[in-house]
């Protein structure tokens, strides 16, 4: 009897089966291919040490369930680790089409003035009809305006991510000066 088998001999049968199953599951794992920078960690020193510390593992059943999954490295912001994103390329559920007021809109310059300007003047129609029309038109306007603001914020974010990715590439290819690291 080998040393390993003697160690397992004292372990109860159900626990021993669970240990062997877990060991088998670990043996079936393999690393997922990652797009992006070569390294996932840096010590952010003047002469940086860089390593691949962060990984995503998969097995055959996961690979069959998500055949077009993609692992990407995101820009490293304020951390010594590069965030990893797994996109399984699954259909996403459509969100509810109900109107939702976003409190962040209140922080946008000129929002309150814009809403006041868009308010309908009271007409001679029945008050409930007027109020329903007023709400409907304001919801429609704010929905479109909110989509435009969101798209603008996404463009700004994409621009900043591009700048960060460029700095990451530069850090991999050249040595960055201490000023560029900060």
| pLDDT tens track for 117-151 | 888 788 888 888 888 888 888 999 999 999 999 99
pLDDT (mean) for 5-17: 61
Least confident of 49-63, 103-117, 140-154: 49-63
What domain range includes position 77? 30-91
Residue 8 inside a domain? The answer is: no
Residue 48 or 112, more confident = 112
Report how far apart, in Å, the C-alpha atoms of 74 and of each of 25, 33, 51, 61, 158 are.
29, 14, 16, 26, 12
Quick one: average pLDDT of 106-121?
A: 88
Are 116 and 167 found together in one domain?
yes
Please give the Cα distance from 82 to 168 (Å, whole number): 10
Q: How many domains does the chain have?
A: 2
Q: Does one domain contain both 72 and 124?
A: no
Coil vs helix vs strand at 85 = strand
Residue recorded with tokens 């946008």: 108
Average pLDDT over residues 55-82: 83
Same domain as 117, residue 50: no
Do 104 and 83 lie in a common domain?
Answer: no
In a domain, 53, yes or no: yes
In a shared domain, residues 111 and 159: yes
User: Above pLDDT 90, what percent of the chain?
Assistant: 11
Does one domain contain both 98 and 136?
yes
**Co-location of 47 and 103 in the same domain:** no
């Amino acid at each position: 009897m080998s040393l390993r088998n003697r160690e397992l001999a004292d372990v109860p049968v159900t626990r021993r089966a669970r240990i062997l199953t877990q060991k088998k599951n670990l043996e079936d794992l393999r690393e997922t291919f990652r797009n992006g920078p070569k390294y996932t960690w840096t010590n952010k020193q003047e002469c940086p040490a860089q390593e691949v510390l962060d990984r995503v593992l998969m097995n055959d059943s996961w690979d069959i369930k998500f055949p077009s999954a993609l692992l990407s490295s995101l820009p490293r912001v304020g951390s010594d680790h590069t965030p990893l994103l797994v996109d399984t390329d699954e259909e996403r559920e459509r969100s509810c089409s109900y109107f939702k007021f976003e409190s962040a809109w209140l922080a946008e310059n000129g929002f309150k003035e814009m809403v006041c300007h868009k308010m309908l003047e009271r007409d001679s129609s029945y008050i409930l009809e007027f109020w329903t029309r007023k709400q409907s038109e304001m919801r429609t306007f704010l929905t479109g305006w909110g989509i435009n603001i969101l798209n603008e914020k996404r463009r700004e974010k994409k621009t900043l991510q591009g700048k960060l990715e460029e700095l990451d590439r530069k850090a991999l290819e050249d040595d960055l000066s201490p000023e560029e690291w900060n």
